[in-house]
Amino acid sequence: MKQQGSEPHNRLHGSGAHGSRQHARGSVRLFALEWLRDYRQPWFRLDVIAGLTAAAVVIPKALAYATIAGLPVQVGLYTAFVPMLIYALFGTSRPLSVSTTTTIAILAGAALAEVSSGTPAALVTAAATLALLVGAILVLAGLLRLGFVANFISEPVLVGFKAGIGIVIVVDQIPKLLGIHIHKGSFIHNLLATFEGLPQASLPTVAMAVFTIAILLVMKRFAPRAPAPLVAVAIGIGAMSLFGLERFGVATVGVVPTGLPAVTLPDWQLLAQLWPAAMGIALMSFTETIAAGRAFAQSDEPTPQPNRELVATGLANIGGALLGAMPAGGGTTQTAVNRLAGARTQLAGLVTAALALGTILLLAPFIGLMPDATLAAVVIVYSVGLINPLEFREILTVRRTEFIWALVAMAGVVLLGTLQGIVVAIIVSLVALAYQVSDPPVHVLGRRPGSNVFRPRSDEHPEDESFPGLLMLRPEGRIFFANAERIGQKIQPLIAEASPKVMAFDLGGVFDLEYTALKMLTEAEKRLREKGVTLWLVGLNPGVLAMVKQSPLGQTLGLERMFFNLEEAVARYESAPAAV
């Protein structure tokens, strides 16, 4: 087996050394304002305009999302200011806009409902403690280079999870839309309580909500780039101020404190109660952050680096926590607005943060006049976007099992609760992964006539060549403990049907072998030998070859029964089939 000697082995080690150097260079490093290094003067105008435009969307939505979490609206302002500012200093995504999101808000609200006494001061302290925990988890994950964890929730499961979040939020906000008060509980309880409260609905409140929804939908349809949330909020405040709608039972946000946020110290006694929720929120924060950053990255700018994004988002949460913010992350909608408005760097984020600060200092009294129904309408319109029937349909078209996973994730959120829904989403993703890798196909190969191309035999290519007495098999995907036994089971009937003298097992697509897989091959070789069948291994990469050589299987086979590729194995078989 001279082709599989030192040269490929050295190439592998050469690339490994290079990979080690790349790994060292890719370690987590933080450079504040790194985007300033190659800043260009023409970008300044674009960034300022984008920051102003994004602020018109981010600030009203931050107010609304604070109410989802059951927090005072000023917490939303603090979250649009501090995390946005800190991420702009340390983040690697040029257009990413960091504040809070619908998903993070509902998860935070569920966590806070379990630990807080319900008073505004206690809620703010608990929210800051939660944000601090989330930030610490994200920073630690970044330092441990766990950026790959975001991939543990599959896209279909994430679609179902977000749809469930959207349904829960809509049901949660409908009472505010109607001007009724209910005692909050489970999803089913809230739904039934809302129906029972319909006779007490306030018509002026409903009218305000319907009017706000109409504004948002019309602007979304005919002026998609316009800051619809800002317009809706401004009209709501104007209507309350001009017409005194409080006289007709239209509730408002109430007093919003003016001035810089005070330093908020965490309640250390809450850490033990909040850390499980913080783990889930940290996962969703990073998942949404990296998804938004990748979705809107341009080819001529640096690609977001997952581990540095973990640290930057973590620092944003820690800084926000100390100034009374709630957990934060990158938002897809606001990042889209930022990018479409022309953002080239994080200067746009600094502009948005500056406007949030200006709102805190100057506009707080006006925000206090905002109708609750207006905020509820904003929340509902943008939460409905999480429910995407077309995406469910696409998943069903591609693979029915993944559609079922999406439905299970959605049901987990709706029926069990949002925090429990994260656990369901992760478990479903891991079960789906196990399902996919536990039953890999094993292909019988043929050779395309007149070539050295080997491919799975099929009715589409009846002309492909086979070789009497030689059975060529190729497993698809990695072989490890979860599927090794199943692959062994699939091989047995193929051998019984072909009755070969030699089975050539092509492992060209297997980059690694673990003990269970190696044991399966060893036992398979023994059973084949008892039946008079010789096992050949083909296409071993240098790492797998070294592992096989060190095992009893390698001693049994010897180098003469291991081949660099199928072409070499077929040539060896054709040259002396009787001697095999």
pLDDT by residue (tens digit) across 47-106? Answer: 999 999 899 889 999 999 999 999 999 999 999 999 999 999 999 999 999 999 999 999
pLDDT at 474 over 90: yes
pLDDT at 11 over 60: no
* pLDDT given at position 512: 78
pLDDT at 111 over 60: yes
- Burial grade of 377 (CB within 10 A; 0-12, 13-18, 19 or more): buried
**At residue 258, what is the residue type?**
T
Q: Count H helices, E strands: the chain?
A: 23, 8
Q: Over range 315-336, report the average pLDDT.
A: 94
Q: Which of 143, 137, 408, 115 is nearest to 284 (CA)?
A: 137
For residue 78, the surrounding DSSP H or E stretch is helix 73-90
Q: How far apart are CA 475 and CA 506, in angstroms?
A: 7
Backbone angles phi, psi at 204, to 5 degrees: -60, -40
* pLDDT given at position 272: 92
| Per-residue confidence band for 301, with pLDDT thresholds at 50, 70 and 90 | confident
Task: Provide the b/e sequence for 147-166 (b: ≥16 CB within 10 Å).
Answer: bebbeebbebbbbbbbbbbb
The CATH 3.30.750.24 domain(s) of the chain lie at 442-579
pLDDT tens-digit readout, 177-229: 999 999 888 899 999 999 999 999 999 999 999 999 999 999 989 988 788 89
- Torsion angle defined by CA atoms of residues 357, 228, 249 and 243, in that order, rounded to the nearest 10 degrees: 90
Most distant CA pair in the chain: distance in Å?
101
Ranges of beta strands (E only) in 87-216 are 98-99
Domain 442-579 classification at class level = alpha beta
The helix-helix angle for 43-68 and 332-340 (nearest 10°) equals: 160
Q: CB of 166 within 8 A of CB of 384?
A: yes
Q: What is the mean pLDDT of the chain?
A: 88
**At residue 442, what is the residue type?**
V
* pLDDT given at position 32: 63
Structure tokens at 175: 């009472």
pLDDT tens-digit readout, 507-565: 988 877 888 889 989 999 999 999 999 999 999 988 889 989 999 999 999 989 999 99
Q: How far apart are CA 542 and CA 544, in angstroms?
A: 6
Q: How far apart are CA 181 and CA 168, in angstroms?
A: 17
Q: How far apart are CA 266 and CA 442, in angstroms?
A: 56
- Burial grade of 119 (CB within 10 A; 0-12, 13-18, 19 or more): exposed
**At residue 454, what is the residue type?**
F
Q: Which of 286, 323, 380, 314 is nearest to 139 (CA)?
A: 314
Q: Which of 470, 471, 443 is nearest to 457 (CA)?
A: 443
Q: CB of 131 within 8 A of CB of 320?
A: yes
Structure tokens at 324: 């009374």
Cβ neighbours, 10 Å, residue 365: 11
Q: How far apart are CA 331 and CA 337, in angstroms?
A: 10
Classified as helix, coil or strand, 504 is strand
The length of the chain is 580
Query: Which residue has tokens 């330092």?
Result: 143
Q: How far apart are CA 97 and CA 75, in angstroms?
A: 17
| Per-residue confidence band for 33, with pLDDT thresholds at 50, 70 and 90 | confident
Half-sphere exposure of 337 (CA within 13 A, CB side): 27
* pLDDT given at position 5: 41
Residue 503 β-bridge partners? 471, 535
CA-CA-CA-CA torsion sign (347, 350, 352, 354): negative
Q: How far apart are CA 25 and CA 152, in angstroms?
A: 25
**At residue 180, what is the residue type?**
I
- Burial grade of 123 (CB within 10 A; 0-12, 13-18, 19 or more): buried
Query: Which residue has tokens 């092509």?
Result: 506
Q: How far apart are CA 263 and CA 434, in angstroms?
A: 47
Q: How far apart are CA 101 and CA 560, in angstroms?
A: 61
| Per-residue confidence band for 149, with pLDDT thresholds at 50, 70 and 90 | confident
Structure tokens at 237: 């405040």
